[in-house]
């Protein structure tokens, strides 16, 4: 039914409502009027009404009302279906509009692609703990000849920011890919535990790859990665203690458990968490590694082959030592009998094989001071020795006749024999190997070499006959006795520097004295 037919239907419905209902009993007049109305309309409804008029049906008005109610019901149903279809279409259009209006990620720039030249992985938890960072990219390999290699980046560095924006292993690649070749970028990273910032000029990936396609020498062996213990540690109570151990890593293979105190890595004492991180950063997977840790009263030393990841470590040796109980110290024993003296305490007996005899103390020596404390009587010496133990040293000031001597005495224990130290062999006097004479020149006396011992020290050093000796070890030599006295204080093997005048020239000549 078209629009005009629909309006006619509504008009007929309205007409019947006002006209037909009050005219029951005047059916013939109604039929005539209705026939006139439908004769001017076209469509299924008009045809149905005309057919009903022609049928001569009884209860015509009732049948006519049923016809219109049926037609109106069908029309309402079609309108409802049309409304549902319209609402569905509106929802589809709204969804399409929403999709179109959503911002799309910017595509990677066309053309040349930027290139840094590092391989990287997520930063292990223990490294993040040491560096006190939340994210970053742990460099596992630096491509030879790349911008990263040129900037000095190395495997083990941790990149934490690009152009002051924090990054991770997931973000680093897309961030660099969004930039252009030859663009300068600021990299913030940790190298050997120290934070640094460096500007790097990015390369062109395509050009770099093309250059690599040229005949190249065989690639070097894959660079080893640092050993990862797989533990978290914390400094407390004056040491480095294990807080957590992840299974299957090198730390668990070494037998480390929570609350173990890590004391050494490869024999080097560890005092801070940074020292542990630095030491491990220098040990590569596959290398031997020695860890020393304390558990209760035991000290454990393990040697193993370290691994960068899980399942790769191999235990080679494990040694457990119980903490030794220190032996009590024995009381100090000097080994003398003393009596009071006006200057201190005088030794009347030196017992053999004791500390005093080994130090060279003699009967009759007077002990004036001990450890800078004046000795007025015997009780003071005893009180001082009571505070010391066997193995300690005591400094003594001793008078022996007119001499005052200072001695450091290693104390022993009563009943223990102490051997006297071996006496040094007397030093042999040094010999210069010349014969000298002196003669006057004006108001001065000169010392001149008049003879040389064949193969002697002076001849070996280059001293010549008739050389004038002006100085010896910066001391003026005015007469022959000056040289003799100086040489008398020197021994064989020592060096004396002679200044000699030869003609108009003077020069210093070092001479190693002979025997």
**Cα–Cα distance between 133 and 277 in angstroms, integer?**
14
| Judgement on whether residues 246 and 316 belong to the same structural domain of the protein | yes
Residue with token string 């549902």: 84
Q: How confident is the model over 312-323, as pLDDT tens digits?
A: 899 999 999 887
Q: Is residue 485 part of a domain?
A: yes
- Give the residue from 50, 77, 104 where a domain finishes: 77
| Judgement on whether residues 465 and 507 belong to the same structural domain of the protein | yes
The domain that holds 265 is classified in CATH as 2.30.42.10
- Mean pLDDT to the nearest integer, 279-297: 93
Angle 60-101/3-19 helices, nearest 10 degrees? 140
**Cα–Cα distance between 367 and 400 in angstroms, integer?**
9
Report which secondary-structure segment, H or E, holds 126.
Answer: helix 125-131
**Cα–Cα distance between 433 and 452 in angstroms, integer?**
6
Is the pLDDT score of 275 beyond 90? yes
Of 8-22, 155-169, 313-327, 413-427, minimum mean pLDDT range? 8-22
Q: How confident is the model over 449-475, as pLDDT tens digits?
A: 899 999 899 999 999 999 999 999 888
| Judgement on whether residues 297 and 250 belong to the same structural domain of the protein | yes
| Judgement on whether residues 147 and 118 belong to the same structural domain of the protein | yes
Q: Is residue 98 part of a domain?
A: no
Q: Is residue 202 part of a domain?
A: yes
Q: Is residue 142 part of a domain?
A: yes
Q: Is residue 25 part of a domain?
A: yes
Q: Decide the pairing of beta strands 203-204 and 114-115.
A: antiparallel
| Judgement on whether residues 133 and 204 belong to the same structural domain of the protein | yes
| Judgement on whether residues 398 and 445 belong to the same structural domain of the protein | no
| Judgement on whether residues 448 and 495 belong to the same structural domain of the protein | yes
| Judgement on whether residues 124 and 204 belong to the same structural domain of the protein | yes
Give 175-241 as a DSSP string. HHHTS-TT-EEEEEEEETTEEEEEEEE-EEHHHHHHHHTS--PPPPPPPPPBP---EEEEEETTEEE
Q: Is residue 476 part of a domain?
A: yes
| Judgement on whether residues 195 and 260 belong to the same structural domain of the protein | no
Q: Provide the domain limits for residue 366.
A: 336-410
pTM summary value = 0.28
Instruction: Compute the half-sphere exposure of residue 478: CA atoms within 13 Å on the CB side of its CA.
Output: 3
Quote the pLDDT of residue 424. Answer: 63
**Cα–Cα distance between 201 and 320 in angstroms, integer?**
54
| Judgement on whether residues 120 and 198 belong to the same structural domain of the protein | yes
Q: What are phi and psi of 237, to 5 degrees?
A: 50, 35
Quote the pLDDT of residue 208. Answer: 87
| Judgement on whether residues 288 and 266 belong to the same structural domain of the protein | yes
The number of domains in the chain is 5
- Give the residue from 297, 322, 347 where a domain finishes: 322
- Give the residue from 77, 105, 140 where a domain finishes: 77
> What ranges make up the beta strands (E) of 248-363?
261-265, 268-269, 288-295, 298-305, 314-322, 336-341, 344-350
In sequence order, the 6+-apart residues with CB closer than 8 A to the CB of 384 are 370, 371, 373, 394
In sequence order, the 6+-apart residues with CB closer than 8 A to the CB of 288 are 303, 304, 305, 306, 316
**Cα–Cα distance between 54 and 31 in angstroms, integer?**
10
Q: Is residue 426 part of a domain?
A: no
Report CA-CA distances (Å) from 220 to 143, 149, 214, 216, 299.
Answer: 12, 15, 16, 11, 41
Q: Is residue 59 part of a domain?
A: yes
Quote the pLDDT of residue 149. Answer: 93
Q: How confident is the model over 406-421, as pLDDT tens digits?
A: 999 999 988 888 776 6
| Judgement on whether residues 118 and 203 belong to the same structural domain of the protein | yes
Q: Which residues of 74-97 are buried (b: 16+ CB within 10 A; e: fewer)?
A: eeeeeeeeeeeeeeeeeeeeeeee
Confidence label for 42 from pLDDT (cuts 50, 70 and 90): low
* Token pair listed for 360: 């060279």
Please, are residues 116 and 204 in contact by the beta-carbon 8 Å criterion? no
* Token pair listed for 26: 């005047």
Is the pLDDT score of 104 beyond 60? no
Local structure of residue 418 (DSSP, 8 states): -
């Amino acid at each position: 039914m078209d629009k005009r037919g629909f309006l006619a239907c509504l008009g007929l419905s309205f007409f019947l409502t006002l006209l037909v209902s009050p005219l029951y009993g005047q059916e013939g007049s109604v039929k005539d009027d209705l026939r006139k109305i439908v004769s001017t309309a076209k469509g299924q409804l008009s045809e149905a009404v005309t057919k009903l008029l022609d049928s001569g049906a009884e209860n015509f008005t009732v049948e006519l009302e049923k016809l219109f109610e049926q037609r109106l019901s069908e029309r309402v149903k079609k309108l409802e279906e049309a409304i549902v279809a319209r609402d569905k279409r509106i929802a589809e259009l709204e969804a399409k509009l929403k999709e179109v209006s959503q911002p799309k990620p910017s595509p990677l720039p066309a053309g040349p692609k930027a290139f840094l030249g590092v391989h990287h992985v997520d930063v292990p938890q223990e490294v993040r703990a040491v560096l006190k960072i939340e994210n970053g990219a742990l460099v596992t390999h630096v491509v030879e000849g790349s911008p990263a290699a040129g900037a000095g980046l190395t495997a083990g560095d941790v990149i934490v920011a690009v152009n002051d924006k924090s990054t991770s292993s997931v973000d680093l690649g897309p961030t660099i890919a969004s930039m252009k070749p030859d663009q300068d970028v600021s990299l913030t990273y940790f190298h050997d535990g120290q934070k640094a910032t460096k500007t790097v000029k990015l390369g062109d990936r395509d050009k770099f790859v093309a250059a690599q396609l040229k005949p190249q020498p065989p690639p070097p062996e894959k660079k080893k990665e640092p050993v990862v213990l797989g533990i978290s540690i914390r400094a407390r109570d004056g040491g480095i203690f294990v807080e957590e151990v992840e299974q299957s890593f090198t730390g668990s293979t070494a037998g480390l458990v929570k609350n173990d105190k890590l004391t050494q890595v490869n024999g080097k004492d560890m005092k801070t968490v940074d020292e542990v991180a630095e030491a491990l950063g220098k040990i590569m997977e596959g290398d031997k590694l020695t860890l020393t840790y304390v558990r209760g009263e035991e000290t454990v030393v393990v040697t193993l082959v370290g691994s960068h990841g899980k399942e790769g470590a191999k235990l080679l040796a494990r040694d457990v030592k119980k903490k030794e109980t220190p032996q009590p110290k024995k009381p100090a024993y000097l080994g003398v009998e003393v009596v009071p003296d006006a200057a201190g305490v005088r030794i009347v007996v030196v017992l053999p094989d004791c500390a005093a005899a080994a130090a060279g103390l003699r009967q009759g020596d007077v002990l004036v001071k001990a450890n800078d404390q004046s000795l007025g009587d015997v009780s003071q010496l005893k009180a001082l020795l009571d505070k010391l133990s066997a193995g300690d040293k005591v400094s003594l000031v001793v008078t022996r006749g007119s001499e005052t001597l200072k001695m450091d005495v290693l104390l022993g224990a009563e009943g223990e024999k102490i051997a006297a130290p071996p006496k040094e062999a007397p030093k042999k006097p040094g010999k210069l190997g010349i014969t000298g004479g002196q003669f006057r020149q004006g108001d001065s006396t000169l010392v001149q070499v008049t003879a040389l011992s064949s193969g002697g020290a002076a001849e070996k050093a280059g001293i010549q006959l008739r050389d004038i000796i002006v100085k010896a070890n910066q001391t003026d030599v005015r007469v022959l006795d000056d040289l003799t006295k100086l040489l008398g204080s020197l021994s064989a093997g020592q060096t004396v520097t002679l200044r000699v005048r030869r003609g108009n020239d003077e020069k210093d000549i070092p001479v190693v004295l002979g025997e």
